């Protein structure tokens, strides 16, 4: 008899629709292969659904805040039921861009220069600090959002206007803008799964480029890198996966510029949609969507 899988999707983050898509596609694949599947929201009925359905494994299909930042993981720990992807601490660290970047730096992983901004600095002082520490253009981004939500490339003329437009975050990251190539690397437990290059038609690989099919981002696999460079970026992603303490599948986002790899961030819950990168990398490596999901479920069961 096939296992019972409870999928948690939706949620309250700005990535709700992506999460619903991920949850539905995972559910469809499991159902047609004989699994008993129930989809639930992370709402007041979550505990009741877990206790009544009694799943063998919980598939966490949430994205963004509350879903991949340690909060839902803390709740799930109470039930003593295996759940997919990283645990409380690794999820929390990876989602916090400031903390994760400090860990990268400490472990000699190259990442763009940055500082945090909390709206208590005069405009002219902020401009001076950027010119002194980073130089324009810069990237402004929330500290704890995923899928490039509210991420902007800023110049001296528009940065104040952009920062005011995302003032709801109270604290944001100002990061050095790195040009060059977009390389994404997937890690699957202890396996360096593979890499893919993205060529967005937009300025950079933002939310629209990720999830709007009309944005027409070009996906290139295999990546055109020398053997040594390919091995280097795979090793960096694997190192980041391990030092953060991740488990399951992760995807690390890099920029490749002037023959150097810059790690932007590590994603502990990559999407599982028709435009998602990890399933595409897995398929190229001969791992079907079903096999990928089954591995994630098995990994959840064996690592707890």
Positions annotated as catalytic residues are 15, 147, 211, 251, 253, 265, 267, 271
Q: Which two tokens stand for residue 25?
A: 């596609």
**Is beta strand 57-60 parallel, antiparallel or unpaired with respect to 4-8?**
parallel
Q: In the block, which residue shows the tokens 């206007």?
A: 161
Q: Which residues of 202-220 are buried (b: 16+ CB within 10 A; e: fewer)?
A: eebbbbebbbeeebebeee
Nearest residue to 295 via CA among 189, 186, 193, 196? 189
Please give the Cα distance from 252 to 268 (Å, whole number): 9
Peptide bond into 149 cis (omega under 30): no
- Burial class (CB within 10 angstroms; exposed 0-12, middle 13-18, buried 19+) of 90: buried
**Is beta strand 4-8 parallel, antiparallel or unpaired with respect to 260-267?**
unpaired
Please give the Cα distance from 130 to 2 (Å, whole number): 56
Q: What is the DSSP letter of 83?
A: B
Peptide bond into 222 cis (omega under 30): yes
């Amino acid at each position: 008899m096939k296992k019972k899988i409870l999928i948690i999707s939706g949620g309250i983050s700005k990535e709700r629709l992506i999460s619903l898509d991920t949850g539905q596609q995972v559910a469809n694949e499991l159902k047609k292969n004989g699994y008993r599947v129930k989809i639930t929201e992370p709402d007041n009925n979550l505990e009741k659904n877990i206790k009544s359905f009694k799943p063998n494994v919980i598939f966490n299909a949430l994205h963004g805040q509350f879903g991949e930042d340690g909060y839902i993981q803390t709740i799930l720990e109470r039930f003593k039921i295996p759940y997919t992807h990283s645990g409380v601490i690794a999820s929390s660290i990876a989602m916090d861009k400031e903390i994760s970047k400090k860990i990268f730096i400490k472990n000699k992983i190259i990442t763009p220069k940055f500082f945090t901004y909390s709206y208590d600095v005069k405009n002219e002082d902020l401009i001076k600090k950027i010119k002194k520490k980073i130089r324009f253009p810069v990237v402004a981004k929330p500290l704890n959002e995923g899928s490039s939500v509210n991420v902007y490339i800023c110049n001296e003329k528009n940065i104040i206007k952009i920062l005011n437009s995302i003032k709801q975050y109270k604290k944001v990251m100002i990061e050095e803008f790195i040009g060059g190539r977009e390389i994404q690397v997937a890690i699957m437990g202890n396996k360096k799964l593979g890499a893919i290059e993205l060529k967005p038609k937009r300025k950079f690989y933002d939310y629209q480029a990720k999830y709007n099919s009309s944005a027409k981002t070009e996906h290139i696999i295999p990546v055109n890198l020398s053997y040594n460079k390919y091995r280097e970026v795979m090793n960096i992603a694997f190192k980041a996966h391990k030092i953060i303490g991740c488990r399951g599948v992760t995807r690390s986002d890099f920029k490749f510029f002037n023959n150097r790899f810059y790690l932007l961030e590590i994603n502990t819950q990559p999407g599982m949609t028709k435009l998602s990168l990890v399933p595409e990398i897995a398929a190229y490596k001969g791992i079907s969507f079903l096999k990928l999901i089954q591995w994630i479920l098995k990994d959840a069961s064996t690592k707890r």
